[in-house]
Amino acid sequence: MPKRHCKVSDDYFKEFPSIKKGKTDDEVCCEICNCYINITHKGKKDIVNHNETNKHKKNLRGQSETSGLQNFGVLEPHSLKFINKQLNEILYVGVSTDASNHNSVKMFPILIQYFDQHSGMKIKVVDLQSITGETSEMVSEMLISSLEKLKLTEKCIAFSGDNCNTNFGGMRRTCTNNIFFRLKAKFNEKLVGVGCPAHILNNTIHTCCDSLPFADLESIVFKIFNYFNIYTVRVASLREFCDFVGSGYQQLLPF
């Protein structure tokens, strides 16, 4: 006798609000864990078993802890109304995001950049989302959803992020499993990808330091000291740079 083949029932969605339809009739998608659950063999019991896993419980706790942050609290309606009013007159925007760990939850602030002819360059936080991972599919779907909610999909001409493979698929940007490629396919084939200049500079300095001959390290330090030692203008520039990067200036001592 063949085994019973279970299929999705509409009653499941009423009993388990955290699931939605899957790709086929014998699976559902858990929105808390962003994964698919096969119900072929046990039906509703497969969903119950998934909800009892440590992964689901952990993600559920994380979501409840950050539920207030996702909606910006009581200021969200006023803030978005004010931003939307400004954006009505803006022709083009760029979008950027980056992950920030909040205990077991990954927080994603979504920023848009645009140029206002009256007040210059503007950067606004338009959304704050938490998702259970940071794959290119998950992050791109999050960005698309936020931009569609703000009706900015047709105005988006640029994506900015750090230079990791998840964002751009490597230095040559020829891969397809990355956020930049997915946004291009959804919005605009001419979408501009802007890598983070701070990360590029950091990687450049690391590479340069790795290439320095260690035998001349003392000579390099001595030359740096001499460059700043008696020149007030250079020291002032160094102080200004330290303030810019948030690092306290310390006087260079002779040796």
**186 phi/psi in degrees, rounded to 5:** -85, -40
Q: Is 40 helix (H, G, I), strand (E, B) or coil?
A: coil
Residue-by-residue DSSP string for 36-59: EEE-TTTTHHHHHHHHTSHHHHHH
pLDDT tens, residue by residue, 10-65: 888 888 888 888 888 888 988 888 888 888 888 888 899 999 998 888 877 766 55
8-state DSSP, 253 = P
Q: What span, in angstroms and rounded, lies between the C-alpha atoms of 55 and 121? A: 42
* End-to-end alpha carbon distance in the chain: 89
Model confidence pLDDT, tens digit, residues 154-199: 999 999 998 889 999 988 888 899 999 999 999 889 999 999 888 8
Q: Are 125 and 111 in contact (CB under 8 A)?
A: yes
Do 169 and 175 form a contact (C-beta atoms < 8 A)?
yes
Residue 229 amino acid letter: N
As a whole number of angstroms, the distance between CA 177 and CA 98 comes to 17
Q: Which two tokens stand for residue 193?
A: 């990808």
Mean pLDDT estimate for the chain: 84
What are the pLDDT digits (tens) for 34-48? 888 888 888 888 899
User: pTM, whole model, 2 decimals?
Assistant: 0.58
What is the set of domains in the chain, with CATH numbers?
Answer: 10-65 (no CATH), 68-198 (3.30.420), 213-255 (no CATH)
Q: Which of 6-10, 63-67, 112-116, 203-207 has the highest mean pLDDT?
A: 112-116
